[in-house]
Amino acid sequence: MNFGIRNLLETMLVRMDHNQITRLKIWSARCLSAVALYRELKDWNLAMTSK
């Protein structure tokens, strides 16, 4: 990761209050699970079409 970007993110986290940090964690967890779900569906779709 670029140092400038990381520095910016750390500064943002320091300025955030607890509620904002919690919201950010929930949001990132949702994004990760959405990506995982998309990958699973893509793999399942490939498996179904290759039969």
Q: Per-residue pLDDT tens, the chain, 51 aa: give them.
A: 577 888 888 887 788 888 888 998 999 999 999 999 999 999 999 888 886
Coil, strand or helix at 5: helix
Torsion on CA atoms 26, 32, 36, 41, rounded to nearest 10? 70
Query: Quick one: tokens of 35?
Result: 């990506």
What does the pLDDT read at residue 38? Answer: 94
Cβ pair 13, 21 in contact under 8 A:
yes
| Per-residue pLDDT, 32 | 92
- Residue-level pLDDT at 1: 54
pLDDT of residue 27: 92
